Amino acid sequence: MGYYRRVSSHALRSLKCPSLLTRLSPAPAKFGSLSRRSGGGSGAFSSPSFGFGYAYGFCSHSRSNLKESAIDLIQYPPERIRNFSIIAHVDHGKSTLADRLLELTGTIKKGHGQPQYLDKLQVERERGITVKAQTATMFYNYNLDGLKADEGHETQAFLLNLVDTPGHVDFSYEVSRSLAACQGALLVVDAAQGVQAQTVANFYLAFESGLTIIPVINKIDQPTADPERVKAQLMSMFDLDPSDALLTSAKTGQGLEQVLPAVIRHIAPPPGKSNSPLRMLLLDSYYDEYKGVICHVAVVDGAVRKGDKISSAGTGQSYEVLDIGVMHPELTPTGVLLTGQVGYIVSGMRSTKEARIGDTLYHSRNTVEPLPGFKSVKHMVFSGVYPADGSDFEALNHAIERLTCNDASVSISKESSTALGLGFRCGFLGLLHMDVFHQRLEQEYGAHVISTVPTVPYIFEYSDGSKLEVQNPALLPSNPKSRVTACWEPTVIATIIIPSEYVGSVITLCSERRGQQLEYSFIDSQRVFMKYRLPLREIVVDFYNELKSLTSGYASFDYEDADYQQSDLVKLDILLNGQTVDAMATIVHNLKAQRVGRELVEKLRKFIDRQMFEIIIQAAIGSKVIARETISAMRKNVLAKCYGGDVTRKRKLLEKQKEGKKRMKRVGSVDIPQEAFHEILKVT
């Protein structure tokens, strides 16, 4: 057993926070022997008396721009490879730590002027969050006896694959996929904030995947840092030995020299079989305009070379490997990938639909047992996406096709709406994911979209016994009560960590959102850990913002999907001058229908301009109107502003008016501006 004990089930039973045991479901299906190892730490290099003070490595020079074959992967058999991930709560410093490790190994230049190097998307830079997991291959020379290389002691070259993962709850699927390629994880915790909700969630993802977990207490340079308190939390929550924790500041560089030696010593090499036929797990894929589909892969067994013929277990299609290499940190051809290595291949796939995430790729000449792959992705939120200008449908179609090439976790199907025309029904992992998808559509593909009220997938049972999953409220008959015998809504198990002085207001919030408390315990003298079962509908819109504002920003929140629960649901319709706006229909709990209806019509009144006739806005359940607002008529003629007969000016104004109209959606005779659709998203 290596120095870094992985948590035993016995240890977990004695956790002071017994609630966490509920997360310990059997490990998710993943690829064979990589998923569960029996020994913690590095079998080959276990050293019970390892101390950080004397471990020295020195970096190899940057090879980012080296040509093919300049990196000789033959030098790196599995025992010289370490695949590890960095996991943490949002903003605890994963990407900054990843930057420092890339610099330390010379993979990127120091002061490269691009903070959070692995956050490559514009949306990641702007929001300061990681959305896509990224892998980088680093080379590091290290003396296993901890002797200084610069004093002439011999070192060995190691290949380290680092996976930077997202911290936000919406992207935990991305984290669990990334962990499939790793044998260990650095669990980064902010020295001032301590253990937060996503620390708990990510710890269990790594734990369930059988990874060796190395705790890293980061941001120790902060004046409010309290590493001792964090060590105590790690012990009480996860049974992680406080003396194992590394203390670092990714900002000042303090303590960083301990990190890679700890990775090499305590994380096991990948366990695949070099002599077995090739089995390669497809981790991710994206579309590159010049190279076509690029697949990120982990070679579990055997080896693959440029020119090899490979087949997909998922689709049965065969390909030739046209390019192959590692991300160092950009695509760097190597001509080969060997057992345990993580890299990329280009194989002439025409679309990312052929590159199924979790698929097994193997040599066409062999037959192999496919790897178990991943749990299928679960869509929590659905929303309609329509072109702001109806005539842009084809352009939007093209933009969505291209974006889904790089974000396979969105589900897409075509739909149409009387109000909005032709569009798409999209399934997302959460609201942030939905937001990011819209932003990427606009920024990367120049598409302007209107999205409809997000909904969760409800189940309705009809009198004939049939059950229907409803992802689009508009498809539900307006008076469902007549035929519906029962309905169910999805729930989540939420983890909330807060300072104890906010307990009262958070409990009130959760009960307003129809929550049921499952657990309540103290992490330490100041922090409380709570578990709630909450209807998913109640948290998708604005729950986190409200939780943050109630707790002055101190709350942290995470959730995992749970069962469906029976519920009293109704469809709420919005009518404009008597005509139903299908794109604004929503499903709500009967007890909340009145309030939501009133808020919706008030919002719409603010956002719909006065027009030349009176507009009546109504919210209704079936034929019963529950809220009503009126916008009085106004006469408005843009040309009336033109005195005299300046034709160009008149034409300009007419053009402007036309442009404005394009951004409106017409229901009957009423023009609805885009903002109205955006604003009603926020009504809970």
Ligand X SMILES: Nc1nc2c(ncn2[C@@H]2O[C@H](COP(=O)(O)OP(=O)(O)OP(=O)(O)O)[C@@H](O)[C@H]2O)c(=O)[nH]1
Q: Is 356 in the site for ligand X (CB under 6 A)?
A: no
Residue 600 C-beta: closest distance to ligand X, Å: 33
Cβ 352 to ligand X shortest distance, Å: 24
Nearer to ligand X, 216 or 267 (CB): 216
Nearer of residues 171 and 543 to ligand X, judged by Cβ: 171
Residue 452 within binding range of ligand X, rule CB under 6 A: no
Helices 431-445 & 393-406, crossing angle to 10 degrees? Answer: 120
Name the residue nearer to ligand X (CB basis): 227 or 269.
Answer: 227
Distance (Å, whole) CA 17 – CA 377: 29
Q: Which residue has the tokens 């299906």?
A: 29
Cβ atoms within 10 Å of 366's Cβ, excluding its own? 12
Q: Number of residues interacting with ligand X: please give it, by CB under 6 A.
A: 21
- Shortest Cβ distance from residue 287 to ligand X (Å)? 23
Does 234 contact ligand X by CB under 6 A? no
- At closest approach, how far in Å is the CB of 493 from ligand X? 21
Residue type, 429: L
The answer to whether 45 and 265 have CB atoms below 8 angstroms apart is: yes
Alpha carbon distances (Å) from 92 to 96, 167, 474: 9, 9, 41
Are the C-beta atoms of 191 and 220 separated by less than 8 Å? Answer: yes
The alpha-carbon radius of gyration of the chain (Å, integer) is: 28
Which residues does 190 contact at the CB level (< 8 Å), separation at least 6?
A: 88, 89, 91, 92, 93, 196, 218, 219, 230
**Using an 8 Å Cβ cutoff, are 542 and 684 in contact?**
yes
At its nearest, how many Å lie between ligand X and the CB of residue 202? Answer: 10
CB of 95 to ligand X, least distance (A): 3
Quick one: 88 or 447, whose CB is closer to ligand X? 88
Is-contact 324 263, C-beta < 8 A? no
Q: Are 151 and 125 in contact (CB under 8 A)?
A: no
Among 24, 28, 60, 221, binds ligand X (CB under 6 A): 221
Q: Which is nearer to ligand X, 195 or 570 (CB)?
A: 195
Name 391's Cβ contacts closer than 8 Å, sequence gap at least 6: none
CB of 257 to ligand X, least distance (A): 14
Which of 37, 92, 363, 665: binder of ligand X (CB under 6 A)?
92
Position 231 contacts ligand X (CB under 6 A): no
Which among 98, 87, 255, 99 has a CA at the least distance from the CA of 186?
87
Smallest distance, ligand X to C-beta of residue 178, A: 13
Q: Is residue 133 a contact residue for ligand X (CB under 6 A)? A: no
Task: Calculate the CA dihedral of residues 403, 409, 410, 413 and round it to 10 degrees.
Answer: 110
Q: Binding residue for ligand X (CB under 6 A) from 6, 63, 94, 514?
A: 94
DSSP string for residues in 323-353: EEEEESSSEEE-SEE-TT-EEEEE---SSTT
Least distance in Å: CB of 640 to ligand X?
Answer: 52
Scanning 53-61, 124-132, 231-239, 638-646 for contacts with ligand X by CB under 6 A, the matching segment is: 124-132
Q: To the nearest whole angstrom, how small is the minimum distance from the Cβ of residue 249 to ligand X?
A: 4
Question: Is 611 among the residues that bind ligand X (CB under 6 A)?
Answer: no
Q: Which residues inside 138-197 make contact with ligand X, applying CB under 6 A?
A: 166-167
Strand partners of residue 155? none
Q: Per the omega criterion (within 30 degrees of 0), is the bond before 329 cis?
A: yes
C-beta of 166 vs 454, nearer to ligand X:
166
The residues with which 499 forms a beta bridge, in sequence order, are 527
Give me the least distance between CB of 534 and ligand X, in Å please: 23
- Residue in 615, 618, 613, 647 with CA at minimum distance from that of residue 631: 615
> Measured from the CB of residue 225, what is the shortest distance to ligand X in angstroms?
9
Cβ count near 372 (within 10 Å): 16
253 binding ligand X? (CB under 6 A): no
CB environment 165-191: b (16+ within 10 A), e (fewer): bbbbbbbbbbbbbbbbbbbbbbbbbbb
- For residues 423 and 393, give the distance between their C-alpha atoms in angstroms, rounded to a whole number: 7
Q: Which stretch binds ligand X (CB under 6 A): 91-99, 366-374, 386-394, 557-565?
A: 91-99
**Under rule CB under 6 A, residue 411 binds ligand X:** no
Span of 70-78, 93-101, 369-377, 543-551 interacting with ligand X by CB under 6 A: 93-101
Q: Is 222 in the site for ligand X (CB under 6 A)?
A: yes
CB of 190 to ligand X, least distance (A): 8
- Among 93, 329, 343, 373, contact with ligand X (rule: CB under 6 A): 93
Span 39-78, contacts to ligand X by CB under 6 A: none
Structure tokens at 63: 């090879």
Which of 85, 130, 383, 551 touches ligand X (CB under 6 A)? 130
Nearest to 599 by CA among 588, 609, 612, 611: 588
Amino acid at 111: G
Q: How far apart are CA 320 and CA 332, in angstroms?
A: 18
Q: Computed from CA positions of residues 125, 127, 132, 134, in that sequence, does the dihedral angle turn out positive or negative?
A: positive
In the complex, residue closest to ligand X by CB: 167
The yes or no reply on residue 435 touching ligand X (CB under 6 A) is: no
Q: Which of residues 201-220 bind ligand X (CB under 6 A)?
A: 218-219
Nearer to ligand X, 132 or 533 (CB): 132
Q: Which of 20, 180, 197, 250 binds ligand X (CB under 6 A)?
A: 250
Contact 231, 242 (CB under 8 A): yes
* Beta carbon of residue 125, minimum distance to ligand X (angstroms, whole number): 10
433 near ligand X, judged by CB under 6 A: no
- Is 519 a binding residue for ligand X by CB under 6 A? The answer is no
CB of 229 to ligand X, least distance (A): 17
Q: By CB under 6 A, which span of 86-94, 134-142, 612-620, 661-669 interacts with ligand X? A: 86-94
Residue 53 vs 223, nearer CB to ligand X? 223
Which residue number, 39 or 128, has a Cβ lying nearer to ligand X?
128
> Does residue 548 touch ligand X according to CB under 6 A?
no
Footprint of ligand X (CB under 6 A): 88, 90-96, 116, 128-130, 166-167, 218-219, 221-222, 249-251
